[in-house]
Chains A and B, each alone.
Chain A
């Protein structure tokens, strides 16, 4: 440690007024306080980049003759455009290949560490960061990707930025920002079996709406949050943006420290002790006030599923497709009508009677090893519904390798699912993994927008266990709907072509 006062250790001292977690992290990164209505200037500890939102930023640097200020706080991976099969062949799509090649040449020119397709550390940017241990409590993390909120699960202030801001961070390692408002999302009680963190966040979004979090940092707290694993916490924070929030955070605790410890970039020895001491101070003080508060009872939650074309249009899996006429607001009514037309659903249809064509297990929301383990437990020894094709896409190459060590790939393949290489895959219609027009998908991803998974595709957002149960029954299903697992089916697996 340097002898000069650290902005981090300073904030270990009790402040005059009680503060929220978000306010503490903000204060610790203040390079310069904004004056006369100007924004604050905040230091950025980690800048993650990928091929889609970085080329124009690099080009901007070049045109202005600027350097990338801190290549040692910058990390790149290839994920959005990349294929998830035949990855060692030349990328067929010319514009995709060009974008990937551009990232590679930019990384080389500016000296940025990049994990390209085929590398053991390649994967979805929000899976790779935590896995390497470059995401830690109390940091500021940005990326030109709205799901950067994922890293908030560590008690980091992490948020997505546009390409102009990517260039700004490259040039200055800071961002001018107006302080966010704070919202407490307290999830009391305990989740019941078969209910997961995905169901918590889908219920939160349905409750506060896709615009409910605008301008806020959400802090998830309460007993049901504290009981979650790090990976489950990442799923929740990941979808904060789907409630319109800038970021989502969870205070670091023993679960967090245990997860970070020993990772490649985690502090060691005396540094570790100093870091943990600081991290323990990153809790919302008693008596601190939030600008808004929401309370959810975990005991009441059931597996959740979306019926419409935005993530706020969700309902319990045991429920039915709503009737647009039942919405009070004209805008909601019109949106529901439009959504049902796009989704080809009739009001009153029980969700569990809706047949799907494709099950997608993957994305930065739900593609980590725990997600794969939970889903594999459901499909193990069961037979896939013949009307369904299933794709399993690990979030990173490391997750893929670990899953293979545990034999999960075998379980999925025996079930008839397609086992792929890491990437964003079918979460967004940008790489070869896309829905065909009219296809209906139960997806563990984060957005059910029109055409998101491919033009004309229809998306129902679900948790990994619901996705797995759906692949077994062929209609949207909870694990509790399944018959006890029998012997593996003698029926040959369906050919999978997605």
Chain B
């Protein structure tokens, strides 16, 4: 995972609440077995409409998505994060994220920045008044800056640390191999095993 410190890019206003993962990437695109190449699948249904924000310049070049509350609800598909990432998004801003989406983002270096809804409204206003306005998202100071406006965002310390360092979770966990083995030795014998099959 790439290290994340600060990002500056064009912000895209998506004035909609409850953007579920079926909208971010419809299920028909989940049949692929690769982890990349999902850029064409991002918002596939909505992108068929010429008026959709990503079909308009300069938003087409956007890398910071500014969405309504409850972004990423529904399915656990990490493909939603891959599609956003593959399109070129580095940051999603929303006042509320679905838990699984937030977790998936952190694994892929996509920053899910939680910003108060009143501040989201201020950002929307600025980036719609001047389309193409660049925003700067700083993970160190946990702030979003648009021109003279700077607002804070929330992210938990652990995810922030992992993003900053670009760390792989599995590697971190395997440092605790002894603890895992010790736990396994304590597990009750009656807990189910899937092998051998007993059907």
Contact = CB atoms under 8 A, between A and B. Distances in A.
B190 A274 contact: yes
Interface string A66-82: 10000111110000110
B170 A64 contact: yes
A53 B76 contact: yes
A175 B195 CA distance: 22
A246 B107 CA distance: 17
Contacts, number: 233
Interface in A162-177: 162-165, 167-168, 171-174, 176
B179 interface: yes
B69 A211 contact: yes
A210 B176 contact: no
Nearest to A70: B184
A144 B99 CA distance: 14
B17 A335 contact: yes
A215 interface: yes
A255 interface: no
Most buried by A among B28, B45, B76, B189: B76
Contact of A56 (B33, B180, B192, B194): B33
A250 B76 CA distance: 22
A93 B30 CA distance: 13
A6 B77 CA distance: 35
B108 interface: yes
Contact of A449 (B22, B99, B173): B22
B76 A144 contact: yes
Contacts of B195: 71-72, 111, 113
A173 B188 contact: no
Contacts of A455: 26, 45
Interface residues of A, number: 98
A271 interface: yes
A43 to B, nearest CB: 5
B76 A4 contact: no
B104 interface: yes
B16 interface: yes
A451 interface: yes
Q: How large is the interface on B (under 10, 10 to 19, 20 to 34, 35 or more residues)?
A: 35 or more
B129 interface: no
B157 interface: yes
Interface stretch (A33-41, A223-231, A384-392, A460-468): A33-41
A9 B188 contact: yes
Contacts of B30: 52, 80, 430
B32 A95 contact: yes
A194 interface: no
A331 B17 contact: yes
A113 B192 CA distance: 14
Nearest to A145: B76
B173 A172 contact: yes
A485 interface: no
B178 to A, nearest CB: 10
Given A45-B191, A96-B31, A98-B33, A4 B186 contact: yes
Contact of A8 (B117, B188, B192): B188
Contacts of A332: 17
B100 interface: yes
A429 B157 contact: no
A50 B72 CA distance: 21
B15 to A, nearest CB: 8
Contacts of B169: 164, 168, 176
Contacts of A271: 189-190
A168 B186 contact: no
Contact of A452 (B22, B81, B185): B22
A242 B186 CA distance: 35
Interface stretch (A17-25, A130-138, A293-301, A406-414): A130-138
A7 B186 contact: yes
A407 B78 CA distance: 41
Interface in A388-438: 428-430
Given A164-B104, A211-B70, A450-B23, A55 B33 contact: yes
Contact of A164 (B26, B68, B78): B78
Contacts of B69: 211, 331
Contact of B100 (A71, A146, A331): A146
A38 B75 CA distance: 26
Nearest to A335: B17
Most buried by B among A43, A99, A163, A267: A163
Contacts of A102: 33
B141 interface: no
Interface string B18-29: 101011001110
Interface string B163-199: 0000001101110100110011111111111110111
Contacts of A81: 31
Interface string B63-81: 0000011100111111101
Interface in B72-101: 73-79, 81, 96-100
Nearest to A45: B191
A67 B126 CA distance: 50
Given A41-B179, A53-B76, A164-B104, A73 B99 contact: no
A78 B185 CA distance: 32
A428 B33 contact: no
Contacts of B73: 210-211, 244, 310
B170 A162 contact: no
A340 to B, nearest CB: 14
A37 B23 CA distance: 34
A84 B102 CA distance: 33
A45 to B, nearest CB: 6
11 contacts: A31-B176, A46-B192, A95-B31, A99-B32, A136-B192, A162-B77, A165-B104, A168-B170, A241-B74, A334-B16, A335-B17
Given A174-B180, A428-B22, 14 more contacts: A1-B189, A6-B187, A38-B158, A71-B194, A121-B199, A139-B192, A178-B156, A242-B74, A265-B194, A265-B198, A334-B17, A429-B26, A450-B23, A452-B22
Interface of B: 15-18, 20, 22-23, 26-28, 30-35, 45, 68-70, 73-79, 81, 96-100, 103-104, 107-108, 117, 156-158, 169-170, 172-174, 176, 179-180, 183-195, 197-199
- Nearest 4 pairs between A and B by C-beta? A164-B107, A162-B78, A162-B104, A271-B190
